[in-house]
Amino acid sequence: MFTGIINDLGEVIAVQQKDEKLRRMTVVCGYNPDSIDIGASIACSGICLTVVERAQAGNRSSFTVDTAAETLRTTTAATWQRGTKLNLERALRLGDELGGHMVSGHVDGVAELTARDDFVDSASLSLRVPALLARFIAPKGSITLDGVSLTVNDVKGDTFSVLIIPHTLKVTTLGSLQPGARLNLEVDQMARYAARLLETMPG
């Protein structure tokens, strides 16, 4: 479980195709290597992935994860290559501050950035989502984009907008995004359960 509060910016340094169903990737990060356990979960741009190796990479550390065929098919992970920057978040520990909202790291789909409006120290992003996911997105509700917990501003059909504050622009990959970019999208769990409850109610 995660919160959508990014605590490091990683970079892919190696991609290896193990077979037709498995791709292995190594990411450098600022985490203490001794604190990264094999089998631990790290959210990489919103995707919960399992650490299979760890190492020291110069003055930084690195960890290696495997991405399966389903993950490559339903997320942006298939486009990651050497040099790709990733928003990183360690798994939530019992007692940690919940600064964002409850995030599972299970991506629901991919959103496309359709417009960006830059202001003095912030930016408004407009995104289009798959029609089946649009019903889970509501004004003032929570959304996760590439692992970042955000609040929805406006919703119109299958598009919505979010306002990115200066700190988030600085410490995540959202600051460099341009129209046409694709982002991993996770809808709010509460919205998903509420929709399911309505579907199963009689009459």
Residue-range domain boundaries for the chain: 8-90, 109-200
Tell me the mean pLDDT in the region 29-37: 92
The region of weakest confidence among 5-19, 24-38, 94-108, 180-194 is: 94-108
CATH number of 109-200: 2.40.30.20
Taking 80 as the threshold, does the pLDDT of residue 195 lie above it? no
Give start and end residues of each alpha helix (H) in the chain.
Answer: 69-74, 131-134, 166-171, 189-200
Q: Which residues contact 145 (CB under 8 A, 6 or more apart)?
A: 46, 111, 125, 127, 162, 174, 183, 184, 185
Catalytic residues: 2, 41, 48, 50, 68, 106, 151
Identify the CA nearest to 66 among candidates 17, 104, 6. 17
- Among residues 43, 4, 6, 39, which one has the least CA distance to residue 27? 43
pTM attached to this predicted model: 0.91
Q: What class has domain 8-90?
A: mainly beta
> Confidence band (pLDDT; 50, 70, 90) for 189?
confident
- pLDDT at residue 172, rounded to an integer: 98
